Structure 1
């Protein structure tokens, strides 16, 4: 069975969470899917369980924070080297570090956009 990792940030019950939940539900029957959510923001347990979530602390790019984090690069390198997924689907606000590591490890990646960048 192919392994897919979903990566997103949690900011409430809107935007990327809606897309993340829909993605997870559409993939979970055919693939082994694991979701990584940033532990810096409290995630309701019900939502966390509904998307098979693992907590991790990593950088989220935003209007206020446009810097790439060395710590996040190391975090994603360790996670993706250990997990060895066939595909990583990532929210656009987490793309810099995740994209770099997926390219380094030659893992396919897809970006999903479901939020305002303005």
Structure 2
């Protein structure tokens, strides 16, 4: 039986149980593989147990976020983040006297 290597971030399906999961961590020192099932549960396999599984590699399921009740709107890009120093700082509300290089004199 061919054994698939456990690659972090890759999705697999156990052909015997139909369970889908993603490998989230490996520990070479302890010979363990940590996976997260599609329902969010975390499981750990030792290397011998992993080798006995009948696995196939699959693409990331479209509905894997349903267990966490997440949608595309819940994801933000790093550029969209709010900087803590901008929240509630009254200095950010002061308008500049200089607009486009022209000094606004009274």
TM-score norm. by structure 2 comes to: 0.22
| Higher gyration radius (CA) | 2
Query: Given the two structures, how large is their TM-score scaled by the length of structure 1?
Result: 0.20
The structure with the greater share of residues assigned to helix is 1
* Larger RCO, structures 1/2 (Cα 8 Å, 6+ apart): 1
